[in-house]
Structure 1
Amino acid sequence: MPGIWSEYEFQPSFVLGFHGCDKSTAERLLRGEEPHLKWSEKKYDWLGHGIYFWEGNPGRALQWANHRQQEGKIADPFVLGAIIDLKHCLDLFDGDGLQQVADGHRELIETFKKIGTPPPKNLGPTPDKAGRFLDCAVINYLHTYRELRGELPYDTIRAPFLEGRPLYPRAGFRKHNHIQICVRETACLKGYFRPIAGACGSA
């Protein structure tokens, strides 16, 4: 399933990613007591399994951490910064990358038909509020499909996420639009850092 422009899937520069978490988790990484954040392997991870970051958006990471605190999942909201080398990136801003995901979906559906099992579904009232079970299955299947065919694995996935209410009536902009990065290869993470005071804005 390689794209015709696959040589351009290698990103030439670093990006800054931000991860919302409990302060104790971030401090362990910053002190070098743990090498990396843990992979997420939830069945609804919309970019498949890996380590998730908001690209260039510490404020959104803080909002997420604050929300997790309200849910009782973390005690002390914190934003951890990361220097990310995207390397071989499945970029879903790019038409060729999107076509690969579409092809992966087609292959996955055919596989489920052959075994007589219904595929997962995205569940929820709107795409940004859905449990993205199908999307997760498609991305994970794409990685497996490439591995079985001996194709070069993707190190990262990068995609826009359209989220929240319109900024104004009939707006094409939404309140919580952001870019997410899923890191699958920890060698892409060149270092973690503490964002400067005030960089996260208000929650």
Structure 2
Amino acid sequence: MKNHLILGFHGCDEETCKKLINSSNEFHFNRNPYDWLGHGMYFWENDVQRAWQWSLEKHRQGKFKQPAVVGAFILPGNCCDFLNSKYTMKLAGYYMKMKRNYGIIPQNTDVKSDPYKDKLLRLLDCSVIEYMHEQMGVLQEKEKQQLGFILTPSFDTVRNAFLEGASAFPGSAIKLKTHIQICVRNPHNILAFFRPRLKPALDLAA
């Protein structure tokens, strides 16, 4: 369990930003088959500029009428943190089980517009993570029937770091779009939404 607060930033359109801030029940649960950390609401951890960059990219693509960023105070709770080998090993085990059960499973694929070939469509990762959540749910049901209570808690959040984009300089392993994402599955772990005062830097808007 993680009891410290995380500052997260979510790129969105202006209308969505207003709804999230003004409504205590508003929550955006993504269910795309290619989401990097499975289903839930996504935030850039401690990186408002990266959230602005993503929102501006969506605006240039015509997907957002007016780009915006909303901030959130997030309590990670029971976090599946892939920066901890305990959880990456756990996920690897679910991958093997899923492969045995299904045989053919989806693969991560590239987006044609991405010159860095970062496999931006994470179909495999999303499938395995969702399979993990599903199997944990099956175990919880067995525990409830056999014991009368649940021993295995669900994950409130999923977290990981990603290397992405061009090298910071020639020969560097540091990437310009490297970031930490947190995917919130339990809306109760978002304590509050707010509007950041920091506006996008000129180089991100270019």
Q: TM-score, normalised by structure 2?
A: 0.87
Alpha-carbon distance change, 143 to 58 in structure 1, aligned in 2, over 3 angstroms: same
| Alignment partners' CA distance in 2, 1:52 and 1:99 | 23
What SS does the corresponding residue of 1:129 show, helix, strand or coil? Answer: coil
Offset at 1:172?
1.8
Structure 1: where are the runs of 5+ without partners? 1-9
Structure 2: where are the runs of 5+ without partners? 141-151
| Alignment partners' CA distance in 2, 1:109 and 1:14 | 36
Offset at 1:129?
3.5
Offset at 1:20?
0.5
| Alignment partners' CA distance in 1, 2:120 and 2:69 | 25
Offset at 1:104?
1.2
Q: Which amino acid aligns with 1:41?
A: R
Equivalent of 1:122, from 78, 86, 108? 108
Aligned to 2:148: none
Matched, 1:86 2:76: yes
Aligned to 1:70: 60
Q: Give every structure 1 segment of 4 or more consecutive aligned residues whose post-TM-superposition deviation is greater than 3 Å.
A: none
Offset at 1:164?
0.5
Q: Which amino acid aligns with 2:106?
A: P
Aligned to 1:158: 159
Q: Which amino acid aligns with 1:157?
A: V
Matched, 1:48 2:38: yes
Could you tell me the percent identity over the aligned residues? 34
Q: Where does 1:49-198 land on structure 2 (aligned, <5 Å)? A: 49-113=39-103, 118-124=104-110, 128-150=118-140, 151-198=152-199
Aligned to 1:5: none
Conserved? CA contact 1:166–1:175, under 8 Å: yes
Offset at 1:17?
0.4
**Number of residue-to-residue matches in the alignment:** 188
Q: TM-score, normalised by structure 1?
A: 0.88
Deviations 1:63-118 (A, max 9, x none): 000000111101111110000000000001001011011111111101103xxxx2
| Alignment partners' CA distance in 2, 1:63 and 1:41 | 22
Matched, 1:17 2:3: no
What SS does the corresponding residue of 2:69 show, helix, strand or coil? Answer: strand
Q: Which amino acid aligns with 1:141?
A: Y
Q: Which amino acid aligns with 1:201?
A: A
Q: Which amino acid aligns with 1:123?
A: T
| Alignment partners' CA distance in 1, 2:19 and 2:185 | 21
Conserved? CA contact 2:161–2:180, under 8 Å: yes
Conserved? CA contact 2:39–2:183, under 8 Å: yes
Alpha-carbon distance change, 161 to 127 in structure 1, aligned in 2, over 3 angstroms: farther
Conserved? CA contact 2:59–2:66, under 8 Å: yes
What SS does the corresponding residue of 2:124 show, helix, strand or coil? Answer: helix
